Amino acid sequence: MPKILNVETAIPPYCIKQEEVALFAENLFSENFRDIKRLLPVFQNGDIESRHFVHDIDWFKKPRSFKEKNDSFIEKAVELGTEAIRKCVENTEFATYSTIDAIFTVCTTGLATPSIEARIMNHLPFPEHVKRIPIWGLGCAGGASGLSRAYEYCLAFPKANVLVLTIELCSLTFQHGDRSKSNLIGTSLFADGTACTLISGEESQCVKNAKKPLAKIFATQSTTMKNSLDVMGWDVKDDGLFVIFSKDIPAIIEDWFKPNVEKLLYKHDLSLKDIKHFIAHPGGKKVIEAYRTSLQLDDSLLDSSRGILRKFGNMSSATIQYVLKDHLKKDIQTGDIGIAAALGPGFSSELLLMRWE
């Protein structure tokens, strides 16, 4: 079965404290919300202390065109994506650029054709025959979906080594002229981040030479809820991408998520009691609480998700790889079973089961 060899991140340069963003939002939204003081606690109560952005906060104080924001997306995505890939490959024993067979690039916050990994290949010594598989539009579920698709690729080609690159620059979707509550909530929550994961098939020389226990992915499950297009996503307008973010997401998770997880576990003769590690995309404080309530999890299983949310905010698809990297630092016992989970537009979920061997 395919295994996870390494996860690395590339952190944008500007670390901005949550209170700074709250002051920015108060100044911007005060003309449109007479009760802005009543709404501002969303910044303090979201369990986020800081976030990282590709520009300083002054850059967002004036309107920017869709073209200007997307040009910035391409430039910064190439910079951060190159850094994340370089760290992932060069910090993995026995891996080299020449051993990489495919790159899955996951993104929902900017547009580029040629896609970002094609541009990155001009900066790093990849062989010209590397397969490129861009994945767009899966939002917060995209990181887990990318890992699942890489797992399936390595099942088909067991000698393969595959990179999953997630690049989300959520700040560049900020709409200066949008005074909706959805935009206010998004301003309190979303951030920029990039991550890269190396997954290898069981016959890969990198796996054979590994000297430590690795997380083996042994099952995945994708689920899409019908008639749920209005739960989250983008409304594409002349000025770019406007956030759709339903307040009902935590309630949907509590009602829908547990049967979904149990269905996957049942197929493999497992139950929730067998799960020692819960690698969850932290969509927000209420989403994390909905995970805990729905699955009746021990609170400690969500420590990594809370820690990443607190330090980095919601970086859409990249966030789960930040959580995964944090988990891989832990003292995990051989044979432990974990589940990775992320939710996104559609409304959809992506689940992965893994065992440390």
Task: Delimit the domains of the chain by residue range.
Answer: 3-208, 215-356
Quickly name the fold that domain 3-208 has.
Peroxisomal Thiolase; Chain A, domain 1 (3.40.47)
**180 has a pLDDT exceeding 80:** no
Signed CA dihedral, 37, 38, 42, 47: sign only: positive
Integer Cα distance of 318 and 281 in angstroms: 9
Residue indicated by tokens 């956030």:
243
Instruction: Choose between 213 and 326: higher pLDDT.
Output: 326
Instruction: Choose between 240 and 275: higher pLDDT.
Output: 275
**188 has a pLDDT exceeding 70:** yes
Integer Cα distance of 320 and 326 in angstroms: 10
Structure tokens at 178: 């949008």
The single residue of 15, 88, 107, 140 carrying the catalytic annotation is 140
The reply to whether CATH 3.40.605.10 applies to domain 215-356 is no
Q: Using an 8 Å Cβ cutoff, are 108 and 316 in contact?
A: yes
Q: How confident is the model at residue 32 (pLDDT cuts 50, 70, 90)?
A: low
Whether 15 is catalytic is: no
Integer Cα distance of 174 and 151 in angstroms: 33
Confirm whether 3-208 and 215-356 share one CATH topology: yes
Q: Provide DSSP, 318-347.
A: GHHHHHHHHHHTS-PPTT-EEEEEEEETTT
Q: For residue 87, what are the CA distances in angstroms to 40, 84, 96, 106, 230?
A: 38, 5, 11, 18, 38
The model's pTM:
0.93
Structure tokens at 346: 């559609």
Q: Residue 53: what are its φ and ψ, rounded to 5°?
A: -135, 160
Residue indicated by tokens 């949907």:
252
pLDDT digits (tens, 9 = 90+) for 59-96: 998 889 999 999 999 999 999 999 999 999 999 988 99
* Residues belonging to the chain: 357
Q: What share of the chain is helix, strand, coil (3-state, %, to 5)?
A: 45, 25, 30
Q: Taking residues 241-268, what's their average pLDDT?
A: 83
- Which pLDDT does position 111 carry in this prediction? 92
Q: Which of 177, 216, 179, 268 is nearest to 3 (CA)?
A: 216
Q: Taking residues 275-298, what's their average pLDDT?
A: 90
pLDDT digits (tens, 9 = 90+) for 323-338: 999 998 888 889 999 9
Q: Which residues contact 2 (CB under 8 A, 6 or more apart)?
A: 150, 151, 154, 155, 158, 199, 200, 201, 202, 216, 217
Please return the burial class of 109, using the count of CB atoms within 10 Å of its CB with bins 0-12, 13-18 and 19+.
Answer: buried
